[in-house]
Structure 1
C-alpha cells in the first residue's frame, strides 16, 4: 500500500490526472448534471439541488475514472489482483481486457452473484471469500502468483482519477455551497473533496455519506485514525471493512462531516429515483437518501450538488425494493 501523504495531492497533480482520464482509451464520459427540480422527484426542501449522474458513466459507476488513471500509470500486460464488491471490479475487469492484463478480483461472499458473473464475462477470475479473509486471499495471489495488488480505494493514482469528477462538476457549478458524496473506503470522497478545495472553493461544505452498518470513515473521524469494523449493509459498494489511510488523511483535511443513512432509507431512495426514471444502486443512492431524510444541515437557500455514484443494480435486486 502506498505510504504517500496527503501533501502529495496538489491541484496540478489532479489536473494532470483529469487530462489522463479525459483522454483515456477506456472511454470515460463527461456525465450529465441535472436539476432536481426538472425531474419528477418530490420537491427538494428549500434549496437548489443538482444531481451528478455517475450512474450513467461507462461501466455504470464513477470507478472507471480512478481505474483509467491507475492503468495508465502501470505497465501494459501486467498481472493484477484487487478486492471489490462489484463496481471497482467491473471497471478493473473492463480495463484489464482492454490493456491485455491478467486480472483477478477477490470478492466478499456477501456481494451479489450477478456482479461476479459480470466481472468474469471480461475474462477476469473471481474468487469469493468471507469478508474477514479478503486480504489473506490477496496476499496469497501476490506471494504465490506474483501478482501486483491494485487497491480499490487507498491508492494515490486512483484518488487522483476520481478527483476528475470534482473538477468536472465545478465547470457546471463553479462555487457550490454544499457537495454530497458517498463514502466507502473513501477514495471518491477524498478525490472530489481535494479537487474542490484545492480549486479555491474554501466555503464549500463537503459531506460524506455512509451506511449505518458500514461507517468506517465516520468512526475514523471520531477516533482520529483509520479504523475497521464488522460491516453489514445493503450497500455493498460502501462496505469495505476499513477506511483507507490516504483517503482518511484527505477527508480529515477537506471534508466537513460524515453523515449516516440506514438501509431502509437507501431502499426508499432507490425506489424514489427509479420512479423518476433514474436507475441507481443502493451505494449510489446514499447521498440522495441523506438529502431526502434531512441528514445534511443548513441547506435553506443553498446551491447543492448531489453525486449519484453508480447504477449497477440487477432486476433481481430491484425486485426486493418497495414500490
Structure 2
C-alpha cells in the first residue's frame, strides 16, 4: 500500500468528504453535542464542557463516517478485507451488505466474541487471530484470494470521512479551546484534528487519549516515527498492533499531545456514563476518562469538547464493570 503524504489532506478534501458523508446512502447522522451541565455527570473543574454523542451514530460509533467516504471512492462489487476489533468491522460489514459486495474481517482474538457474531450477521466472514498476526492474515487474503484491503485507520479517505465529526463540532462551538479525542490507530484523532486546525482554529489544543497498555501513538510521539507493540487493554478498539503512518504524520502536525489512562480509569468512566443514562463502550469512554481523572492540562475556564466515540457494548460486557 503506497504511502500518502499528509500534505494531501486539505480543507477542500475534508469539506468535500463531509458532503459525501452527509448524503451517503449508509445513513450517517449528525449526532448531538450537548453541554455537560445538562447531564448528571460529575464535574470538579470549572469549565464549559460539551460532549459529542457518537455513541448514538449509525452502527453505534463514528466509524461509519470514514467507511461511508471509503466506499464512495471505491468501485462497487469488489471483494474487500479489513482488520478490526469490532466497530470498524461492524460499519464495514454494514456497508458491504448495503452495496452487495463481499467482505472479510480479520479480528484479534482478544475482541469480544459477541462482536464477531454481530459482524457475521451482516454476511461477512470473520477470522479471529492473535493480534501480532493481523496484518499477516490480511496480506494472505490480498495475495491468495485477490481481495482489496481497506485499512481501518491508516487510510486518507477514511480519515477524511472521520473529519466530518470535527467540522460538526465547529458548527456548534466555532472556537473551542480544547478538544479531547480517543486514539487507537489514530484515524479519528487525525481527522478531527485536521478538520479543526485547517478550519482556522490554530489556538485550539487537541489531545489524543490512549490506554496505558496500548499506547502506540504516545510511544510514536516519543520515538518520532510510527511504532508497534503487543497492545492490550479493556478498550480493545484502542489496541491496534501499530500506529498508522498517515495518522501519525497528521497528529504530529495538529495534535498537542497524547495522554494515557489506565484500564481502571476507563472502567470507572463506563460505569459513570451508564449511571448518567449514556451507554458508552470502553473505547468510546477514553476521552471522558481523561477529563474526569484530570489528565488534560489547563482546563479551568476553558471551552472543552469531549467526544464519546462509540456505544457498542453488550450486556455480557457490562457485567464486568463496577456498579
Tell me if both proteins adopt one fold, taking TM over 0.5 as the criterion: yes
Could you tell me how far apart the structure 2 residues matched to 1:186 and 1:124 are?
25
The aligned residue for residue 187 of structure 1 is: 187
Could you tell me how far apart the structure 1 residues matched to 2:197 and 2:43 are?
29
Could you tell me how far apart the structure 2 residues matched to 1:251 and 1:48 are?
25
The answer to whether the Cα contact below 8 Å between 1:2 and 1:156 also exists between their aligned partners in 2 is no
Give the Å deviation of 1:132. Answer: 1.3
Give the Å deviation of 1:133. Answer: 1.0
The answer to whether the Cα contact below 8 Å between 1:37 and 1:44 also exists between their aligned partners in 2 is no
Could you tell me how far apart the structure 1 residues matched to 2:76 and 2:124 are?
16
Could you tell me how far apart the structure 1 residues matched to 2:73 and 2:231 are?
32
The answer to whether the Cα contact below 8 Å between 2:43 and 2:292 also exists between their aligned partners in 1 is no
The aligned residue for residue 227 of structure 2 is: 227
The aligned residue for residue 138 of structure 1 is: 138
Give the Å deviation of 1:126. Answer: 0.2
Give the Å deviation of 1:42. Answer: 1.3
The aligned residue for residue 278 of structure 1 is: 278
The aligned residue for residue 153 of structure 1 is: 153
The aligned residue for residue 302 of structure 1 is: 302
Could you tell me how far apart the structure 1 residues matched to 2:133 and 2:146 are?
19
Give the Å deviation of 1:40. Answer: 0.8
Is the partner of 1:80 in helix, strand or coil?
strand
The answer to whether the Cα contact below 8 Å between 2:85 and 2:108 also exists between their aligned partners in 1 is yes
Gaps of 5+ in 1: none
Residue correspondences, number: 323
Is the partner of 1:106 in helix, strand or coil?
strand
Give the Å deviation of 1:2. Answer: 3.7
Aligned-residue CA RMSD (Å): 0.6
Give the Å deviation of 1:22. Answer: 0.3
Is the partner of 1:232 in helix, strand or coil?
coil
The aligned residue for residue 5 of structure 1 is: 5
Is the partner of 1:191 in helix, strand or coil?
helix
The aligned residue for residue 89 of structure 1 is: 89
The answer to whether the Cα contact below 8 Å between 1:36 and 1:44 also exists between their aligned partners in 2 is no
The aligned residue for residue 14 of structure 2 is: 14
Q: TM-score, normalised by structure 2?
A: 0.99
Find out whether 1:207 has 2:207 as its counterpart: yes
Could you tell me how far apart the structure 2 residues matched to 1:198 and 1:53 are?
23
Change (3 A) 1:24 1:44: farther
The aligned residue for residue 239 of structure 1 is: 239
Could you tell me how far apart the structure 2 residues matched to 1:232 and 1:11 are?
35
**Runs of 4+ off more than 3 Å:** none
Could you tell me how far apart the structure 1 residues matched to 2:140 and 2:5 are?
27
CA deviations over 1:29-76 (Å, ceiling 9, x no partner): 000001111101113411110000000000000000000000000011
Is the partner of 1:280 in helix, strand or coil?
coil
